[in-house]
A and B are shown apart, each in its own frame.
Chain A
Amino acid sequence: MSTQRSGRAAITGIGVVAPNGQRTDAYWKSVREGLSVLDRITREGCGHMPLQVAGEVQGFDPSALIEDRFLVQTDRFSHFAMAAAALALDDAGLGGGAPAEPFSVGVVTAAGSGGGEFGQRELQKLWGQGSKFVGPYQSIAWFYAASTGQISIRGGFKGPCGVVASDEAGGLDSLAHAARAVRRGTGTMLAGAAEAPLAPYSMVCQLGYPELSTVAEPDRAYRPFTSSACGFVPAEGGALLVVEDERKAVERGVPVRATLAGHAATFTSAARWADSREGLARAIRGALDEAGCAPEDIDVVFADAMGVPEADRAEAQAIGDALGGHGRRVPVTAPKTGIGRAYCAAPVLDTVAAVLAMEHGQVPPTPNVFDVCHDLDLVTERARPAELRTALVLSRGLMGSNAALVVRRGGESAR
């Protein structure tokens, strides 16, 4: 694929709805500054739970962004996805109005928890009032596929659509899926993920994860790669990218922000973090192979950063296994420690951060993390200026999926 000059998958649009910024520029400013927005959970009905700290998207008003006829039939996770998709299309110069070639635009998203809040509301009607009070949109709103479907309906997109259900790493897999669709001839894909796991039922579903941090102090709850690592905190929000054929982007005269150069995924079973070392290392090698990259070509690594000592160790070792001596020298960062892990959306937000880091020539820091106890050059405290051409984004899921994505800077280096 690396030698293939035509049909490369280019990122031409970015849409972000994140706890630290509800537009791409606001997100980047927070990421670059190393701002942490982790805080006590304020959403209704969640106050009594042992999970107390998360990254909430506060002040998000879906009714200002999305028509009522879509709002009544969708959950918050789809609201985030639809909002991010619209922002991405605008950024790519494709917003507003029906697409000129509807069959050449497709959508692929990943989701880990679906529409839990909507589902809870309808189930409460079922047991509180009776089956006749359950609305018909319960049949679609909770479903993992809802965001892909609603984005395509709202935009009038009739190209190939898909949903990736492969755990948190599915966020990267959705981008790979989009790149494949583009290489097979689909002009434009919207790809990414959004999640809304901060509602009572959805939170109860997470309480059984031993990796979940129940620390109540926001600045201490999620500190991967340190001796005080105590698990991860969840987040809501997400990001969608416009991925299109690089030639088409050049024809349209829009900037190629980055290219999706290589991806690979592996599976090493739930909660077997030591095994994820080999799984992640193989995913990294596979992504490098597809991108035609040597380990030394990687200028920055966006780590998965689970925040569980055994998992952090496995990730640090995997980076060393796959990148050799370069693995100890390459800057590594995990901006998600400032916002939490938005499940499938986490690696998509990291991919956005990687693109922006390359555009701005700055490796953003890892908020709340000091005293790194692994053999990694983890960037902490403040952004580090660097010439960045190629980034590696890593992701693992609680159920055992691992994925790696190589992203190349756009502009001249993309040609």
Chain B
Amino acid sequence: MITTEVTFDELAALMKKAAGITVDPQELRQSAESPFDSFGLDSLGLLGIVGELENRYGRSLPPDSERCKTPQEFLDLVNSTLKAGA
């Protein structure tokens, strides 16, 4: 399935793959404005997720993406970037 929309489900899966963090996608969606570190994700973990997405979509994400503080902020930035390039 080709999609240009990264979902909370996918973000949860990436948090597991890249940073070893188990988080329920439902909970991630509900707490989308909570800071990443409240889920246990540190800056290197987010950098790893950015790298995974860049490789998956074959394009660069803006430098600000690895500085996002919350899941909502991150998905908004990533998805607007992917849409703009689609």
Contact = CB atoms under 8 A, between A and B. Distances in A.
Interface string B32-57: 00000000100011011001001100
Contacts of B45: 69, 73, 136
A140 interface: yes
Contacts of B21: 68-69
Contacts of B44: 73, 136-137, 139-140
Contact of A132 (B16, B18, B55): B55
A135 B40 contact: no
Contact of A72 (B19, B51, B55): B19
A134 to B, nearest CB: 8
A72 B42 CA distance: 13
A70 B18 CA distance: 11
Contacts of B22: 68
> By DSSP majority rule, is chain B's interface helix, strand, loop, or mixed?
helix
> By DSSP majority rule, is chain A's interface helix, strand, loop, or mixed?
helix
A70 B40 CA distance: 11
14 contacts: A68-B16, A68-B21, A68-B22, A73-B44, A73-B45, A132-B54, A133-B55, A135-B18, A135-B51, A136-B44, A136-B45, A137-B44, A137-B48, A140-B44
A335 B61 CA distance: 55
A278 B21 CA distance: 52
Contacts of A140: 44
A132 B51 contact: yes
B54 A72 contact: no
B20 interface: yes
A217 B51 CA distance: 46
Interface in A62-93: 67-73
A67 B20 CA distance: 8
Question: What are the nearest 9 A-B pairs in CB distance?
Answer: A68-B20, A72-B20, A69-B20, A136-B47, A136-B44, A136-B48, A69-B21, A135-B48, A132-B55
Contacts of A70: 20
A70 B42 CA distance: 11
Interface string A45-70: 00000000000000000000001111
B57 to A, nearest CB: 11
A69 B16 CA distance: 8
A73 B20 contact: yes
B45 to A, nearest CB: 8
Contacts of A72: 18-20
Among B44, B47, B55, the one with the most A-chain Cβ atoms within 10 Å of its Cβ is B44
B68 to A, nearest CB: 15
